[in-house]
Structure 1
């Protein structure tokens, strides 16, 4: 899953970004409202963490402009503005959630997980395809109760495919949602990770789950 983090306090931004990256998310961090809108215009995001006290363009303005373009993107406001009126304004303008600073990182993560699950209303916190299970809380992947050790990117690819099981997902869509804006589309990075993921599933006797659809992408289905 790919997150746009909009936070003008660089130390706090670095702390949040590192924590989310350690949990397997791809994170693009920006520090002002104009930069946020630019990154949003050229990339696909699953969720936005948005501060309100921003330079160049206020967070509420950013929220309004994004909502005019996209009614579905998940947005969490993370702000020191703690008055009830501020929270009401943020939610009325289209934020899905509002978390007041100072905050606990574990709570931010939990709210992110909750919002991302709402994109796929039928999906619980544990995703399953046949005997393959992925726990979005613990970040553990198991097949027949045996754990499969994955890298962050392998986990990200698998999670996205499992959330869209049965659908053909292109390599471009996968990289948009699993890597950040530093990804080089001309490198072999994606092919390396998808090959490594399929190899690990194969070693766990789960080899038929990720099917390559020639010229289109990849589909996640249970073995038959």
Structure 2
């Protein structure tokens, strides 16, 4: 889940970034109205958190231009203002929700998840492949009746794989959507975390869910109808020849 946070208060922006990343979001920060507008129109996000009082362009103007360009990404306005007319202005311009500073981080997370559910109601509440189930709302993962404990990064990786089960995902796809659009570390971090996931979701249960296609990427196999039969080399994760 990718979120754009447009907030000029540096300390608040960094705090939001850390908190959202712990909740499994991939966060892009922008500190001015023009930068926020550029990111929102040039990249794809699941939701935008947009402050109203911004340098360069106000949040109102950024929102107006986004909607004029048919950018339909859900927008939650974030501001220190609390007047009724401010809320009306934001909603009339096309905002999907409005939160006044100071705010509860728990409430912010709940509203962001609600916005994404309304945007994509066709997505199942529970993501599953066979007896592997992930609940994005409760942040829980089960293999059969066994609850598994994953780190936030492992959870984000498994959620991304499950949302695209059966599809081949490159390391670039995974880094962009689970790490960060500007991640500059080595690509083999993906291999490392795929290995961590296999040890937790597969190895204890004698399963092989994540297929490696050498030189291409990874695919989460669906035993209930996805590509392949889920059988591949236990050590490398590669499909048999």
Distance 2:93 2:73 in 1: 13
Displacement of 1:154 in angstroms is 1.9
Distance 1:22 1:65 in 2: 31
- SS for the counterpart of 1:123 is coil
Q: Shift of residue 52 of structure 1? A: 0.7
Deviation at 1:41, TM superposition (A): 4.9
Given that 1:143 and 1:206 are in contact with CA atoms closer than 8 Å, whether structure 2 keeps it comes out as no
**RCO comparison, higher one (Cα < 8 Å, 6+):** 1
- Cα deviation, residue 174, structure 1: 2.5
How far apart, in 2, do the equivalents of 1:119 and 1:211 lie? Answer: 30
Q: Is the 8 A contact 2:41 2:66 kept in 1?
A: no
Gaps of 5+ in 1: none
User: Cα gap change, 1:188/1:4 in structure 2, threshold over 3 Å: closer, same or farther?
Assistant: same
Aligned mates of 2:206, 2:68 — CA distance in 1: 43
> 1:12-27 residue pairs with structure 2 within 5 A?
12-27=12-27
Secondary structure of 2:75's aligned partner? strand
Partner SS for 1:28: strand
CA deviation profile, 1:36-79 (whole Å, cap 9, x unmatched): 23333554322211111101111112122333445332221112
Shift of the alpha carbon at 1:106? 0.8
- Where does the alignment leave 5 or more consecutive residues of structure 2 unmatched? 225-241
Secondary structure of the corresponding residue to residue 18 of structure 1: helix
> 201-210 vs 211-220, which deviates more?
211-220
Distance 1:42 1:172 in 2: 18
C-alpha distance in 2 between matches for 1:174 and 1:119 = 22
TM-score of the superposition, structure 2-length normalised? Answer: 0.79
Once the two structures are overlaid, the 10-residue window that deviates more, 197-206 or 134-143, is: 197-206
- Provide the residue aligned with 2:146 in structure 1: 146
In our comparison, the structure showing a higher alpha carbon Rg is: 2
Distance 2:142 2:86 in 1: 43
**How far off its partner does 1:217 sit?**
4.2
Runs of 4 or more consecutive aligned structure 1 residues displaced over 6 Å after TM superposition = none
State how many pairs are aligned.
Answer: 224
CA RMSD of aligned residues (A): 2.6
Q: Is the 8 A contact 2:26 2:178 kept in 1?
A: yes
Structure-2 separation of matches of 1:215 and 1:120: 32
Residues 166 and 221 in structure 1, CA contact (< 8 A), matched pair in contact too: yes
- TM-score, normalized by length of structure 1? 0.84
Cα-to-partner distance string for 1:173-199 (whole Å, 9 max, x where unaligned): 332221224412753222322233234
